[in-house]
Structures are given as structure tokens and as C-alpha cells.
Amino acid sequence: MKIGFIGLGNMGAPMAANLAAAGHDVTGFDLAAPVPEGVTAADSAAEAAAGRDVAITMLPNGDILRHVAAEIVPAMEPGAVFLDCSTVDVDSARAVADMAEAAGLRPLDAPVSGGISGAAAGTLTFMVGGAEDAFAEARPLFDIMGQKAVHCGPSGNGQAAKICNNMILGATMIVTCEAFALADRLGLERQAMYDVVSTSSGQSWSMTTYCPAPGIGPTSPADNGYTPGFAADLMLKDLRLAQQAAETADADTPIGRAALNLYAQFVEAEDGAGKDFSAMLPRFESRRRG
């Protein structure tokens, strides 16, 4: 396929490179980041998207997505797929989808899970909203960039799935870190706690796949000084998106709101900025009840 890729940062660059390495004709644009090997550089987002079968965006937030969409939609040919892989608010995703549909394009919102390592390895999971035919056309690209793509329904539902998933993830990581800190105070060795919880009813992805305790379970950012695999700053962003959606939908999410407040304190008032989201564990280690 002829693919335009706009947004070549930590996630977009390896995704675009994987598409190019698989033999696709990829043209890319980013305001600051370099174009990866195998990708042809464009001078603007509109140039990257013009005449392409698929235009892919990987952008920081909804406002930037709306701005870029206003630039590239008029440059794209009717029938082309506009595939947005950013994590943004549901309202922005649906507004951009409406803009694309009005121009005869086929929009998909397809945020990802798997982080920078998943983008590099081509093992991302895509949560996709949009029409079935557009999803089917993009499916071979999902298979290159990731290991799983789930069609979640109409436009905006990909974003809805992402923020619901990450609200669960943020909350379970916090309580996993709390539990390790409590176990320390009670004299329970971390390995013993892991061996019990990882095979019992308290099991979760945060415990068994991404354990926040160094030297316990599979290798995780905790074993690398909490250098981010998924930054606390990004978890804070996703939890804010979840609460924004909850407010719009009039949904009661008290645990999600509590998780947001804790990550906001960790990132903005403590030392969590630039650390992995599992660095909540050393935070709780040093705190007392109160």
C-alpha cells in the first residue's frame, strides 16, 4: 500500500519503520522527529497524506489531531482510510471521524497498547473504532505493527476501549504497589507474596507481567530503575481522558477518579515525572499512613 505516516515520535517512528520494512511505500512527516530508515520524508503533513491509500496519525492529544486532520483531510483522495492511532478524547476522535466521512474518507480510531517496546517489536494491540470495511482494509497493516487488532464498533469506540482498559490498569498498578509496601511492613517476603498472588484471586497483569518490585517475576521497568516502558505522565494523561469521558457520559467512576488523583500527585507534586508508572512502589515504600 501507499501509506502516509504523520507523527514519528517514540511510537510512530518504529511503527512506520515496520511498515516500510514489510515492503509498503511509506512517506512520513513530523515537525521535530527524524524520519526513520526506509521512510520517505515529506515537507508537510498534507504532502505525506496526499494520494495515499492510508494516512496514519500518531499524535499527542486531541487538539493536535484536530489540527492535523484539518490539514490532511482535504489532501486525501475519497475512499482512502484515515487511521488515527493516537490516544485522545472520545469527542475529538468522533469529530475527526465526522470530518473525514464528510470528505468521503473512511476513518478509523485505533489507539494502541504495548508501549515503545511493543511498537518496535511489532507486538502492539489495536483497539479499533470505525466501519467494518475500513477495518478489513487496514487489517494487514495491523498485522505488521501489532499482534492483535479488535474491532470495537463505530467511530470513537477504539478510544473508549483504550481509556477503559487503562483506567483498570492504573488502578490495579496502584493497589499492587500498595500491597507490596504493606507486605514489607508485615514482614512478608516479596517473592513469597508474588508466588501466592500470581496464582491466586489477586492475580493481575500488573503483578504477573509488569511486576513493580525489582527482581520479582519477569523482567520489567522496575529492574531498570523504573526507566519508562509506560511513563507515569502517560498514565496520568489516560486517566484524565477516562474521567473526561465519565463526566460526559454521566458515569460514576470513584476508583478511576482516585487513581487519577494519586497519579496527578505523583507526577506533578512529587518525583514521578519521567518515571515508569510502576514507580508508585517506591513512593508507597517511603510513606506512612495518614
Q: How many CA atoms lie within 13 A of 160 on its CB side?
A: 16
Torsion angle of the four alpha carbons 255, 256, 259, 263, in this order, in degrees rounded to the nearest 10: -170
Kindly state the cell numbers that stand for 69.
486532520
Q: Which residues contact 31 (CB under 8 A, 6 or more apart)?
A: none
Using CA of residue 142, residue 143, residue 146, residue 148, what is the dihedral sign? positive
- Phi then psi for residue 76, to 5 deg, are -90, 150
155 neighbors 102 (Cβ within 8 angstroms): no
pLDDT of residue 82: 98
Kindly state the cell numbers that stand for 220.
520489567
pLDDT of residue 117: 85
pLDDT of residue 136: 97
Please return the burial class of 151, using the count of CB atoms within 10 Å of its CB with bins 0-12, 13-18 and 19+: buried
The Cα–Cα gap between 11 and 85 comes to 10
Active site residues: 162
CA dist 85 → 12, 122, 128 (Å): 9, 14, 9
The Cα–Cα gap between 141 and 163 comes to 23
125 neighbors 85 (Cβ within 8 angstroms): no
Digits of tens for pLDDT over the chain (290 positions)? 999 999 999 999 999 999 999 999 999 999 999 999 999 999 999 999 999 999 999 999 999 999 999 999 999 999 999 999 999 999 999 999 999 999 999 999 999 998 888 999 999 999 999 999 999 999 999 999 999 999 999 999 999 999 999 999 999 999 999 999 999 999 999 999 999 999 999 999 999 999 999 999 999 999 999 999 899 999 999 999 999 999 999 999 999 999 999 999 999 999 999 999 999 999 999 888 76
Ordered DSSP codes for the chain: -EEEEE--STTHHHHHHHHHHTT-EEEEE-SSSPPPTT-EE-SSHHHHHTT-SEEEE--SSHHHHHHHHHHHGGGSPTT-EEEE-----HHHHHHHHHHHHHTT-EEEE--EESHHHHHHHT-EEEEEEE-HHHHHHHHHHHHHHEEEEEEEESTTHHHHHHHHHHHHHHHHHHHHHHHHHHHHHHT--HHHHHHHHTTSTT--HHHHTS-SSTTSSS--GGGGTT--SSBHHHHHHHHHHHHHHHHHHT---HHHHHHHHHHHHHHHTSS-TTSBGGGHHHHHHT----
pTM: 0.90
